[in-house]
Structure 1
Amino acid sequence: MAKIFITLTGTKHYFGNDFLEKGMKIRLEKEPDNEYDKEAIKVTYEGLGKIGYVANSSYTVIGESMSAGRLYDKIGDMAYAKVVLVTPAGTICKICKKSLKSEQEETA
């Protein structure tokens, strides 16, 4: 399966992105009760809690990374990703293969 990248956005509303570094592991959690976006996926970091969201708008998705809407059905309720690149416009992260539904089904 091809590598899947996402854009972490909204960090300025929480802790900023100065602490984010390449290789850091982050957790993605579906947030179906989100009042603004039924396909919202919040991003958390151990010890800090919520640090942002998976981008879900053409204005916030960087390059060829996948939007939250396109990723939503490819993961379970929770998934993991690693930071690949931190930019002022957003942070690019790679979804861990084991977090993808097809990978989980193959190993089950």
Structure 2
Amino acid sequence: MEEKDLYFTVNAVNMFHGIKPFKIGSLIKLVKEPENNYDSEAILVELRYAGPSGYVANSVKTVAKGTYSGGRLYDKILNVDYAQVKFIVDETIIAKVLSKNELEKEKENSDSDIHFMI
């Protein structure tokens, strides 16, 4: 059975480096932050060369239509998981969680940043 694609919105990028480090196809490391003082379902977004770069959106005001909020995504991913940027429109970044098979394909790709992120 095919897993449902999990798309989510990245926000809070201005707390870090802004939108500039994000490119379509960029690999993202997702790290759950259960000890986060503001949101117990916070999911940190990290980029290889930039480090911490944003959070998965978790507010009705910041989640793009048709994407998962951090709260809805939280129990569907591992404590550390991986995603890939699929769309960037203005200041909105939408990424897709990589399935186990997609992650394996990224590992096989010698040009992939995933080796350095795991």
**TM-score of the superposed pair, with normalisation by structure 1:** 0.86
Instruction: Say if 2:45 is the partner of 1:43.
Output: yes
Q: 1:60 touches 1:90 (CA, 8 Å); kept in 2? A: no
Deviations 1:26-45 (A, max 9, x none): 10000011000000000001
Q: 2:86 touches 2:96 (CA, 8 Å); kept in 1? A: yes
Partner of 1:72: 74
Distance 1:32 1:2 in 2: 25
Unaligned 5+ runs, structure 1: 100-108
Distance 2:91 2:78 in 1: 27
Distance 2:49 2:20 in 1: 16
Tell me, what secondary structure is at the counterpart of 1:51?
Answer: strand
Q: Percent identity?
A: 38
Letter matched to residue 57 of structure 2: A
Partner of 1:24: 26
Tell me, what secondary structure is at the counterpart of 2:41?
Answer: coil
**TM-score of the superposed pair, with normalisation by structure 2:** 0.79
Letter matched to residue 65 of structure 1: T
Partner of 1:2: 4
Q: 1:8 touches 1:53 (CA, 8 Å); kept in 2? A: yes
